[in-house]
């Protein structure tokens, strides 16, 4: 038997191609060793796969209107608690409302209770330039719904997305991110839910977990969002919120543009409470005016009308008081083709409120020229300390790997058997 030493011509060619592909793959995929997986949250104004909504009958009419409007042009994912709801019942209900079911998907989960406030506990999906995703879960700072600390983990497991846990307490409404490395936070809110940590420790955790380069610290939220139990804001008027979520008055419209609420000077004479709102918003304006983004550039700040303030009567410790639900045009929902903002004027209301709604609509249409602006009444949510933005969560569109790199990767896999 004759034995030939070395490789055959075919084997030699195969080996050469394997070495070449390996070299190309290595250079194509080479990354900074200090940024092995530089994933970060995707901004809401960037491309989305879907809008997440968590179903509950308590705010059924608002949820139905929101699903109906978004599904006309964009995808909606409705999570339902399978302990309490049947998918066929939801499908029938959506059909009765003539909702575009082609753009709606139903996702089951299992908890003891319903919880509509998905913005605060929902999945924080991070994505890098290659389209690879991972998820971060913070502690959900609401004692009555601690079981929802498991919601994102359930979702990550189902979607096969790796996830990391943080020991930090954090709510989605308390963070505003421009998707390029800048995050806006409120000192009073973050210290309230993380009393054992310094601001420096809180900032470092956000930077590490969310891959943020730049943190802008505002001092306080609007007084309507003060905690009721913290006492009156002024005179006998109490706030009725969750202690200063940033999405009630300050939002990114794009990476360089910040929308900030503003009290009309003419409104300052209506009630002393308006002056408190004005002072807090102008304090935030001064901070944002001097702030810089992750690249050292200043922001463009656009002022949006402060929504009409509602003064309602209540009782506290047996004494009559007034309180203010958290009304805000900045608690809006952004999708690929739509901007959904709150409406406040209703039958029998003063024309002053209609004018405010009109001003808000025009302001948003000017900012988001390529999107359709829709207004939905959501005051019922305001009375529970939230708004439209609070009951939604955006799912970022998955980036596709570059075709060249994908071909190299697939070719290498074929050669390696």
pLDDT at 23 over 90: no
DSSP-assigned states of every residue in 143-196: GGGGGGGGHHHHHHHHHT--EEEEEEE--GGG-EE-SSSEEEEEHHHHHHH-TT
d(CA 155, CA 50): 15
Average pLDDT, integer, range 120-146: 90
91 part of a folded domain = yes
Q: Would you say residue 46 lies in a domain?
A: yes
Q: Specify the higher pLDDT residue, 318 or 74.
A: 74
Average pLDDT for residues 345-368, to the nearest whole number? 96
Note whether residue 7 is domain-resident.
no
- pLDDT-derived band of residue 414, with 50, 70 and 90 as boundaries? very low
Average pLDDT score over the chain: 89
pLDDT at residue 8 tops 50: no
**Confidence label for 348 from pLDDT (cuts 50, 70 and 90):** very high
**323, 240 Cβ separation under 8 angstroms:** yes
Does residue 367 belong to any structural domain of this protein? yes
Rounded distance, CA 354 to CA 328, Å? 14
pLDDT score, position 38: 83
Q: Is residue 33 part of a domain?
A: no
The answer to whether residue 31 sits within a structural domain is no
Calpha distance 285→307 (Å, rounded): 17
Only one residue has tokens 């699903």, namely: 67
Average pLDDT over residues 229-249: 95
In the sheet where 40-41 sits, what is the strand order? 40-41, 124-127, 133-139, 163-169
- Domain count for the chain: 1
Q: Is residue 15 part of a domain?
A: no
Average pLDDT of the residues in 99-127: 96
Q: How many CB atoms lie within 10 A of CB 268?
A: 13
User: β-strand 124-127 against 40-41: which pairing, if any?
Assistant: antiparallel
Share above pLDDT 70 across residues of the chain, in percent, rounded to a whole number? 87
Burial of 171-187, coded b for 16+ CB within 10 Å and e otherwise, reads bbbbbbbbbbbbbbbbe
Q: Is 179 helix (H, G, I), strand (E, B) or coil?
A: coil
Closest CA to 173 of 417, 387, 29: 387
How far, rounded to the nearest angstrom, does the alpha carbon of residue 66 sit from its chain's CA centroid? 16
Report, as an integer, the average pLDDT of 305-328.
95
Position 144 pLDDT exceeds 70? yes
Q: What CATH number did the domain enclosing 91 receive?
A: 3.75.10.10
Mean pLDDT computed over 93-105: 97
* Cα 156 to Cα 162: distance, rounded to the nearest angstrom: 7
180 in any annotated domain: yes
Domain boundaries, position 399: 40-403
What's the rounded mean pLDDT across residues 171-196?
A: 97
């Amino acid at each position: 038997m004759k034995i030939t030493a070395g490789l055959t011509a075919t084997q030699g060619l195969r080996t050469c191609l394997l070495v070449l592909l390996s070299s190309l793959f290595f250079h194509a995929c080479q990354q900074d060793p200090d940024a092995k997986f530089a994933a970060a949250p995707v901004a809401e104004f960037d491309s989305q796969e879907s809008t997440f909504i968590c179903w509950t009958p308590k705010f059924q009419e608002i949820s139905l209107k929101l699903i109906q409007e978004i599904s006309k042009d964009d995808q909606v994912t409705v999570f339902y608690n399978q302990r309490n709801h049947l998918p066929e019942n939801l499908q029938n209900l959506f059909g009765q409302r003539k909702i575009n079911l082609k753009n709606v998907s139903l996702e089951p989960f299992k908890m003891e209770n319903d919880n509509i406030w998905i913005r605060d506990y929902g999945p924080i999906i991070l994505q890098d330039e290659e389209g690879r995703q991972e998820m971060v879960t913070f502690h959900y700072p609401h004692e009555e719904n601690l079981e929802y600390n498991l919601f994102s983990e359930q979702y990550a497991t189902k979607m096969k997305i790796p996830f990391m846990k943080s020991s930090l307490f954090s709510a989605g409404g308390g963070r505003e991110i421009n998707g390029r490395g800048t995050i806006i936070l409120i000192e009073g809110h973050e210290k309230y839910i993380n009393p054992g940590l310094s601001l420096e420790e809180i900032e470092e955790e956000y930077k590490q977990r969310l891959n943020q380069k730049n943190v802008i610290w505002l001092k306080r939220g609007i007084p309507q969002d003060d905690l009721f139990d913290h006492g009156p804001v002024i005179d006998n008027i109490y706030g009725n919120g969750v202690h200063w979520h940033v999405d009630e008055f300050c939002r990114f419209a794009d990476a360089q543009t910040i929308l900030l609420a503003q009290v009309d000077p003419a409104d300052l004479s209506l009630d002393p409470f308006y002056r408190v709102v004005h002072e807090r918003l102008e304090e935030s304006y001064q901070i944002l005016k001097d702030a810089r983004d992750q690249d050292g550039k200043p922001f463009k700040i656009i002022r949006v009308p402060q929504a009409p303030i509602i003064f309602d009567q209540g009782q506290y410790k047996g004494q009559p008081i007034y309180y203010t639900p958290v009304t805000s045009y900045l608690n809006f929902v952004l999708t690929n083709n739509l901007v959904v903002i709150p409406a406040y004027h209703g039958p029998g209301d003063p024309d002053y409120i209609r004018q405010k709604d009109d001003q808000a609509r025009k302001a948003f249409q000017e900012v988001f020229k390529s999107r359709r602006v829709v207004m939905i009444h959501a005051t019922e949510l305001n009375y529970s300390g939230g708004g439209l933005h609070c009951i939604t969560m955006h799912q970022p569109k998955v980036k596709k790997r570059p075709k060249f790199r994908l071909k190299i990767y697939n070719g290498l896999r074929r050669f390696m058997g």
